[in-house]
Amino acid sequence: MSTSTASSSIQLLGAGQDYHILATGSRADERTRVVKHDESFGVFDPAGMIRPREGGELGIYHLGTRFLSTFEIALERRAPILLGSTVRRDGVLVAHLGSPDIPDLRGGALGRDQVHLATTSFLWNGAWYARLVVHNYARRTVELRLALSYAAD
């Protein structure tokens, strides 16, 4: 079993002062989340996304054919940090994500977990439904670019 850690950088603020480790990604996790309904199923990474990989099995399938091969969310061109996810007994995938450290944000740096993203998705009658909720916990107004990337085979 291999162990990976998130890519981080350390910035020293000065001699004798505290330091801050930038959170730039989640720990690597190879487990998948699977949802199913009738003849459709989806295989997601723990963050509820479908990231393209060589020989990857992630995707949304119907009758054995993959119809969606990529689904990714980015904040200011950065992947959100996984806080937790689960597949409920009713077949709904729920993922909680936080913003990474964004030191170069226009309007001032944004610390990790200041913006929360909750995704809820499920399959029903051959269709995939997804809901994204964004909540700002920063003590100021924050303008972020949110990007959704998707692709089909």
Residue range 1-23, pLDDT digits in tens? 334 444 444 444 455 555 555 55
Among 143, 73, 133, which residue's Cα sits nearest to residue 108?
143
Determine the pLDDT at residue 54: 66
pLDDT at 152 over 80: yes
The residue among 24 and 151 whose pLDDT is bigger is 151
d(CA 88, CA 95): 11
- Residue type for position 95: A
Mean pLDDT of 131-153: 94
pLDDT at 150 over 80: yes
Determine the pLDDT at residue 80: 96
End-to-end CA distance of the chain: 31
pLDDT at 24 over 90: no
Determine the pLDDT at residue 153: 79
Residue range 73-123, pLDDT digits in tens? 999 999 999 999 999 999 999 999 999 999 999 889 999 999 999 999 999
Residue range 27-72, pLDDT digits in tens? 555 689 999 999 999 999 999 999 987 668 999 999 999 999 999 9
pLDDT at 134 over 90: yes
